[in-house]
Amino acid sequence: MNLNETQKNIVEEFSVFDDWLDKYNFLIELGNELPEIDPVYKTNEYLINGCQSKVWLHANLADGKLVFSADSDAIIVKGIVALLVKVLNDRTPDEIVENELFFIDEIGLSQNLSPTRSNGLLAMVKKMRLYAIAYQAQSQKQ
């Protein structure tokens, strides 16, 4: 499944919920399924700024694809970052840089996207794209 197909899938999965709290329950489940982050990345260095809750995010490149790991001390926020990981994990840097993340808007999370909103969804997306851009630049050098 390419990145956009995964996005479409998620939009479909969310479309069954007409209650926000059901969406949150689904996010909480996603967060629970997120593999544990290596404790060496659970430090201030990997903390995303601008969140009321703490979000740690790390990415490395394996076989030309990004592997993200993440965690949060808030459960729903962890679900949100797990959702991003689900979409962006195991993608090439080019794929991440070139594709728009339309699913955020379509499942109704975009209200959490404004720069002043303190759950830091925007900051998470930015950080993940920055990782992709950095690895893209690195591979172009080689």
Partner 1 sequence: MAFDINKVRSDFPILNQQVYNKPLVYLDNGATTQKPATVIDTVKELQSLHNASIHRGIHYLSEQMTTRYEEARERVRLFLNAASSKEIIFTSGATGSINTLAFSFGEKYVHKGDEILISEMEHHSNIVPWQMLCERKEAHLKVIPFDGSGTLKLDELDELLSEKTRIVALAHASNSLATINPVKEVIRRAHEKGIPVMLDGAQMVQHGGVDVQDLDCDFYVFSSHKIFGPTGSGVLYGKESLLEELPPYQGGGDMVDQVTFQKTSYNTLPFKFEAGTANYIGAIGLASALEYVMKLGLDEIRSHEAMLTQYTLDRLEKIPGLVLYGRASERISVFSFLVENIHPYDAAMILDKMGIAVRTGTHCTQPVMDHFGIEGTIRASLVFYNTTEEVDQLVSGIERCIQMLS
Rounded Cα–Cα distance for residues 72 and 9 (Å): 24
Rounded Cα–Cα distance for residues 48 and 116 (Å): 14
- Binders of partner 1 among residues 1 to 40 (CB under 8 A) are 20-21, 24-25, 28
- Binders of partner 1 among residues 91 to 120 (CB under 8 A) are 118-119
Question: At its nearest, how many Å lie between partner 1 and the CB of residue 53?
Answer: 4
Please say which residue, 2 or 118, places its beta carbon nearer to partner 1: 118
* Catalytic member of 51, 82, 88, 121: 51
- Known active-site residue 88: no
Q: How many residues bind partner 1 (CB under 8 A)?
A: 14
DSSP H helices in the chain: 3-15, 20-33, 75-88, 93-98, 103-106, 121-141
65-74 per-residue burial string, b: 16 or more CB within 10 A, e: under 16: ebebbbbbeb
Residues tagged active-site: 51
Instruction: Write out the residues near partner 1 by the rule CB under 8 A.
Output: 20-21, 24-25, 28, 52-53, 73-77, 118-119
